Amino acid sequence: MKFLQTLILGNLMILSLGLSAMHHENSPESIAEAWIKAVHTGKQETIDFVTKHMASDGINAPGRYVGFGFTYNPNAEPGTMVVTGIQPDSPASKVLKAGDAFLSVNGVRVNERNMGKLNFRGKPGEEVKAVIERDGKRQNISVARGVISTTYTKEQVLRNMNTALAENWKPDEANIVEVMSKDNVVYVLHWAKDTDEDSSLPYEAYTVTRFVFNEEGQVERIANLSEDRFVLEQQGYTISR
């Protein structure tokens, strides 16, 4: 009888530990950590993970910047910049249309060598002159830079990932330093080392990724805070007026 009780208690303990581990694997903390690891693993791994764990109405908010407010596919024909999307209520929304191709920006020609020199970023309110091609015709435009608060829906996030070239998705160490949570919010501090595409120079940086989970345990909002200025300084860039 005592042997039977011991066996039952042992089985219950094993079952309890299994359920606990299962809960841990699906906890917000473990999903947030696994999300970061997927991004550092490969293109398809990231797409599969986002598809499964991002809420259908989820939002990716990569951060604010000063500029025009448009997107283009960097993996299209090298040295070309064709507008693929425009942020609503941005400076670009008043001037640009999807399909517009930039030919020059403030006198700098758009080509493979100059992609990192185009003057889209800078002081807000400052006018930037550019030449575009629309419906086969050249057109001069002028756009005043503004503060852009970019957000992407799940559909847009997956579309952007699908347009990326798998060979440019370099696997590396996730280097997760710390995971902290409060209520339905999880913060992941992680470190990465990479090489800038424009300058071909290496850099390292810490990034804090903030996840907000809904009641179903899916990610409804994700945002990053990174050492952007530190990254630039490692490549020799300075900020001046």
Tell me what pLDDT residue 35 has. 97
The residues, ordered by sequence, that sit 6+ positions from 65 with a Cβ below 8 Å of its Cβ are 121, 147, 148, 150
Is the backbone of residue 159 left (phi > 0), alpha (psi -120 to 50) or beta? alpha
**The 3-state secondary structure of the chain, one letter per residue:** CHHHHHHHHHHHHHHHHHHHHHHHHCCHHHHHHHHHHHHCCCHHHHHHHHHHHEEEEEEEEEEEEEECCEEECCCCCCCCCEEEEECCCCHHHHCCCCCCEEEEECCEECCCCCHHHCCCCCCCCCEEEEEEEECCEEEEEEEECEEEEEEEEHHHHHHHHHHCCHHHCCCCCCCEEEEEEECCEEEEEEEEEEECCCCCCEEEEEEEEEEEECCCCCEEEEEEEECHHHHHHHCCCCCCC
Domain boundaries, the chain: 26-62+152-234, 69-144
Tell me what pLDDT residue 216 has. 96
Query: Tens digits of per-residue pLDDT, 105-131?
Result: 999 999 988 888 898 888 899 999 999
Cα 6 to Cα 12: distance, rounded to the nearest angstrom = 10
Q: Which architecture characterizes domain 69-144 according to CATH?
A: Roll (2.30)
Tell me what pLDDT residue 241 has. 66
Tell me what pLDDT residue 24 has. 67
User: Which pTM was predicted?
Assistant: 0.75
- Written as six digits, the tokens of 177 are 């330093």
Low pLDDT (below 70) residues in the chain: 1-24, 240-241
Query: Tens digits of per-residue pLDDT, 13-24?
Result: 444 444 344 446
Query: Tens digits of per-residue pLDDT, 36-65?
Result: 999 999 999 999 999 999 999 999 998 888
Range 26-62+152-234 classified under CATH 3.40.50.10320: no
Tell me what pLDDT residue 158 has. 95
